[in-house]
């Protein structure tokens, strides 16, 4: 298993690698965040908490957790809901940068996330 986010992304197929790089670009707009390169799950931290995680699968990229947000936000992300608490983005589809940015903003404002190891 790769031991850094960059190594994890480099080992992905071309479509997954492109999507993961775009996803990291969208997440990078979160203030006071930092990547955790001690890879268990690729994650971006804010302060001492894991803010958001992502994982590349055979046919999609997953982003989790999903914040509560408001009714408008929940309607926006509905087409991307995958399993419990995850958003799924297919490799053949354009990555919804605005939805990802809003997801990170809501996570940041709600203070959700898991304690960083």
Q: How many residues does the chain have?
A: 117
Q: Give pLDDT tens digits for 31-75.
A: 544 454 444 455 555 555 667 788 888 899 999 888 888 899 899
Whole-number average pLDDT of the chain: 77
pTM: 0.74
Is 63:103 a contact under the CB 8 Å cutoff?
Answer: yes
3-state secondary structure of 11: coil
Residue 79: is its pLDDT beyond 90?
yes
Report CA-CA distances (Å) from 15 to 19, 27, 42, 93, 111: 6, 18, 17, 10, 32
Residue 18: is its pLDDT beyond 80?
yes
Tokens 């994982």, residue located: 55
Taken in order of first residue, the domains within the chain and their CATH numbers are 5-115 (3.90.1150.200)
């Amino acid at each position: 298993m790769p031991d850094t986010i960059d190594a994890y992304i480099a080992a992905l197929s071309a479509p997954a690698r492109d999507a993961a790089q775009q996803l990291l670009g969208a997440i990078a707009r979160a203030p006071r965040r930092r990547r955790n390169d001690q890879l268990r799950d690729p994650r971006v931290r804010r302060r001492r908490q894991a803010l958001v995680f992502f994982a590349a699968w055979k046919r999609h990229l997953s982003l989790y957790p999903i914040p509560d947000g408001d009714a408008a936000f929940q309607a926006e992300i509905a087409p991307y809901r995958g399993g419990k608490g995850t958003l799924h983005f297919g490799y053949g589809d354009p990555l919804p940068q605005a939805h990802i940015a809003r997801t990170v903003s809501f996570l940041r404002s709600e203070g959700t996330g898991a304690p960083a190891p």
